[in-house]
Amino acid sequence: MNADTATMSDTAVPPGKTGTWWFLASEIPVFGGLIASYIVVRLGSAGWGEASGHLNFSLALINTFLLLTSSMTVVMAHAAAQENDFRRVANFLGLTVLLGLGFLGVKAVEYTTEITHGFTPAAGIFWSFYYGMTGLHALHVLAGVIANTVLWIGALRGTLARHGHRVELAGLYWHLVDIIWIFIFPLLYLA
Amino acid sequence: MSNAHSRHYLMIWIWLLALVVLSVAAASILPKTQALVLIFAVAILKALLVARNYMHLKNERAIIYAMVLIPLTFVIILLFALFPDFVYRG
C-alpha cells in the first residue's frame, strides 16, 4: 500500500457505515413525510384531541422507557465490541433484544385493546394515522430485533469477533428506531 | 469496556428519562400552547442527545452530517409547503 492509499483509507468513512447512514437517511423522508402529513392534517381538523384520549398513555410511557433503555444497552454492546469483550456484547445484545420484544408485546396489548373497543384503522383519520405510524415503526422494531438476535447468536457462538463492526451498524439502525419513537410518542399521546 | 464510556452512556440515559418526565409534567401542568412548545423542544433535544452521543454523530465527518441534513431539510420544506393548505382553508 503506498502512502497516498494509506492516507485515504485512514480518513474515509468505512463502507459499511456509509451504507448504513445512506439507509438511515432514506428513512427520514419515509417517517418525516408521514409525520409532516399528520401534523398538517391534525392542525387542519377538529376533534383529534378526543380521539387521542382513547389511547393508553401508560402503556406508551412504558414503551418509551423500554426503547430509550434499549438504545443505552445497544450502545453499551458497541462499546464492549470495541474492547473485544464479546461476552459483554452478548449480554447487552440479549438485553436489547428482550427490551425490543417487550416493546412489541406492549404494542400488541395496546392494539388488541383498541381494536376490541372498535378503534380500528377505519374508525377515522386519526386512527388511520395512528396505525400507519405506529405500525410502520413496529415493523422497524421487529427488523431491529431480528438483526440484533442474529448478532447476539454470533456473539454467543464466538463468530461475531471477526465482524465486530456490525454491532455498531445494527446499533445505528436501532437508535434511529428510538429517535422515530421520540417524535411519535408526543405527537400521538401528549399533543 | 472503559468505565468512562459506560458512565457517559448511563448519564445520557438518565437525561433521556428525565426529559420524558419533563414532557409528561408539561402536558399535565402547562397551558396547551406552552406545553406543546416545550414538549416538542424536549423531543428535539432527546433526538439530538441520542444522535450525538449514542450514534456518535459528534465525532462523525461532514459527509455523514450532509447525508442526514439534506433529507431532513426536504422534510421541513415539505411541512411548511403544506401549511398554506389548512391555513387558507380556515
Taking only the tens place, the pLDDT of each residue in B9-57 is 999 999 999 999 999 999 999 998 899 999 999 999 999 999 999 999 9
Taking only the tens place, the pLDDT of each residue in A114-135 is 999 999 999 989 999 999 999 9
Which residues from B are below 8 Å from A185, CB to CB?
43
Q: Are B13 and A72 in contact (CB under 8 A)?
A: yes
**What is the pLDDT, as a whole number, of residue B1?**
55
> Has residue A1 got a pLDDT over 70?
no
ipTM of the prediction: 0.92
Name the one residue in this structure whose C-alpha cell is 400488541. A108
Name the one residue in this structure whose C-alpha cell is 434511529. A176
Residue B52 C-beta-side C-alpha neighbours within 13 Å: 10
* Neighbour-count burial for A105-128, b at 16+ CB within 10 Å, e otherwise: ebbeebbeebeeeebeeebeebbe
Mean pLDDT value across residues A84-99: 96
Can you list the domains of chain A with their CATH numbers? Answer: 29-190 (1.20.120.80)
For B50, which of A29, A64, A178 is closest by C-beta distance?
Answer: A178
Query: Hey, is the C-beta of A14 within 8 angstroms of any chain B C-beta?
Result: no
Across the interface, whether the CB atoms of B85 and A40 are under 8 A apart is answered: yes
Across the interface, whether the CB atoms of B70 and A25 are under 8 A apart is answered: yes
d(CA A41, CA A38): 5
Nearest CA in chain A to B21: A61
Chain A: nearest CA to B31, how far in angstroms? 12
Identity of residue A134: T
| DSSP codes joined into one string, B4-35 | HHHHHHHHHHHHHHHHHHHHHHHHHHS-HHHH
H runs (alpha helix) in chain A: 3-11, 15-43, 48-52, 57-82, 86-116, 125-157, 165-185
> Binning pLDDT at 50, 70 and 90, where does residue A2 land?
very low
For residue A7, the 8-state DSSP code is H
Taking only the tens place, the pLDDT of each residue in A136-145 is 999 999 999 9
Which residues from B are below 8 Å from A85, CB to CB?
1
Nearest CA in chain A to B25: A190
d(CA B48, CA B45): 5
For A186, which of B10, B39, B82 is closest by C-beta distance?
Answer: B39
Across the interface, whether the CB atoms of B55 and A175 are under 8 A apart is answered: yes
